[in-house]
Structure 1
């Protein structure tokens, strides 16, 4: 679009909740470089060049993505590293207007360095409480299982998550299922999600990104989701989309990752407008900013600049994210009042103006030719 100096409300000042952010994928590029130097890990160029990934939506494409993710995760080897990641994720979200962050972690990946999956969860929860106090954004946790592991492992994680269930900072609020949608049988993970639901945890599996409506039907039937990570392929079957709307299932849409993983060729192809137009509750998320090169506000900028959302509609997205969070009613009410205040303020007030230009990302990442790459294989989970 042609740049303009038209005054717009500052999206970093728009109060919002961030519901789809993976633990390792939230890492700052500078932090990754620092940890790699400390542990003598040689990182692939695709994690250092500042370009967002561009991969095909094939098993080979996912394999390359997973190898890069594993290379980054191989640099997280201590309690201090884990605490640093949570703290910096909270600091980054606070700077972008988030009042609530529900960060997703698979503790299995970090357990060998801290004495097991229980200490790994407890470290993240304690770090979330500390970060909440330090940065003024509530940080809660979603414990996620991986499709690449046995469903019995998922049940173990669900029982662990249930022990720390709550709705406040430093508590577990949801149970997820991540990794390649083409792996594992969705219904096999149903018992784990039943354990989580009985504990009052939100059901927040991934689905409907790499696979289409058929997979979403499986996710809905077997896992009874409150929120679905991605879910964008629901637009391919109107009846399914109507069912999602009827059930009030929230779609955690991450436009940058949809393009980086080859689900859609261009930013404008992401069906954000169609989903919102159909009445689906949508909460924007950054997914893995380390690899995709953009954080939460960039997703709102895409909604504004690429999809033509006005400030009322953008505020609606923020409101949907707050309502879909597992925050306490008092937190939700406060954030919604602040969203009202953002809309009531004139464009340019309390935060300056914004123009139709793309904002860059940390360490020089931003729009440009992107690339994939291979790295040393590691564990096969994503969180």
Structure 2
């Protein structure tokens, strides 16, 4: 079997604070004199039920980690370490998702927060030999006007290269808020050329996926795994050319599926969906990107050719330039052509 850490791949679903290693979070907590829950530092993957209570526990832990990020230096450290970790696993493109609102109070506002992340992404790209771009995300638990503000801010920095904003997302519990109220924010983002990449189809089923498709017109769907429950909805996704950012470890961690074998990865691929594997929040779920590919191999029986297909899908679904995609795809071909 070929080394999956050498397979060129794009990482399209990684959250800013959730990308932290346990060691780095411990360092930040000690530097700030903050006591964080032991669960964040024990190295064990989080397991919660797929209920409101389960989500509350997950969100409380994420917020506790985020509370340790209190300076420009902390933010730059997160970007650099995320890039270094991804590069070591064969990522050639990372589109890191960040909601600047939480970090704004420590750096002078949401605009400086975004600019710090973009500048750090450009520096990390040069330092670690991959392309690091940014997805600005709004939260479902805040007012839709907040999402519009973030969409306009994201539009100011729109591009496709390292250190530029390539997409606009919508995160947090998809059972919260009304999806249609965020449609205007996504129109602002699309008009600026940004990819629409909302979360959905994980905690809610295919009925909500259909709402997302109609109201927000996504280019990619964060998760989307439960579209497999309705062949018509999945066919609609395939027909519209919408890629799915599938994060098996977090699906299990959040109780959506009992184990990795239950994640419908092969069903999605065999239906013709473009699937880009993602790690979501390694800090909480205990595994990074290459672990998702390893699970596809060992749990779902994907051959090296099929794993190369997943890598190609991730690259095609990215917002990298045409030239960059060609180079990345050639790298996948070289990996597959090499002796096992």
Sort the TM-score into its range (normalised by shorter chain). over 0.9
Aligned match of 2:154 in 161, 166, 169?
A: 161
- Is it true that 1:141 corresponds to 2:134 in the alignment? yes
SS in 2 for 1:76: coil
Partner Cα distance (2:14, 2:155) in 1: 20
Partner Cα distance (1:92, 1:171) in 2: 20
Gaps in structure 2 of 5+ consecutive residues: none
SS in 2 for 1:327: coil
SS in 2 for 1:252: strand
SS in 1 for 2:176: coil
- Is it true that 1:130 corresponds to 2:123 in the alignment? yes
SS in 1 for 2:221: strand
Q: Which residue of 2 aligns with 1:179?
A: 172
- The 5-angstrom pairing of residues 74-89 of structure 1 reads 74-89=67-82
SS in 2 for 1:33: helix
- Is it true that 1:191 corresponds to 2:184 in the alignment? yes
Q: Which residue of 2 aligns with 1:15?
A: 8
Partner Cα distance (1:164, 1:115) in 2: 18
CA drift of 1:45 comes to 1.2
Per-residue CA distance 1:35-90 (angstroms, 9 max, x = gap): 00011111111101110011000000000000000000000000000000000000
SS in 2 for 1:214: helix
CA drift of 1:287 comes to 0.2
Q: Which residue of 2 aligns with 1:109?
A: 102
Partner Cα distance (1:132, 1:119) in 2: 20
Partner Cα distance (1:247, 1:267) in 2: 27
Q: Which residue of 2 aligns with 1:70?
A: 63
Q: Which protein has the bigger helix share?
A: 2
Q: CA RMSD in A?
A: 0.4
- Is it true that 1:320 corresponds to 2:309 in the alignment? no
Q: Which residue of 2 aligns with 1:295?
A: 288
Partner Cα distance (2:21, 2:57) in 1: 20
Partner Cα distance (1:162, 1:287) in 2: 24
CA drift of 1:151 comes to 0.1
- The 5-angstrom pairing of residues 332-343 of structure 1 reads 332-343=325-336
Partner Cα distance (1:94, 1:166) in 2: 22
Partner Cα distance (1:30, 1:50) in 2: 9
- The 5-angstrom pairing of residues 236-275 of structure 1 reads 236-275=229-268
SS in 1 for 2:132: strand
Partner Cα distance (2:39, 2:52) in 1: 18
User: Scaled by the length of structure 1, what TM-score is found?
Assistant: 0.89
User: Scaled by the length of structure 2, what TM-score is found?
Assistant: 1.00
Gaps in structure 1 of 5+ consecutive residues: 1-7, 348-383
Number of residue equivalences: 340
SS in 2 for 1:222: helix
- The 5-angstrom pairing of residues 33-44 of structure 1 reads 33-44=26-37
Q: Which residue of 2 aligns with 1:200?
A: 193
Per-residue CA distance 1:248-283 (angstroms, 9 max, x = gap): 100000000000000000110000010001111100
Per-residue CA distance 1:207-262 (angstroms, 9 max, x = gap): 00000011101110110000000000001110000000001100000000000000
Q: Which structure ranks higher in relative contact order (CA pairs < 8 Å, sequence separation ≥ 6)?
A: 1
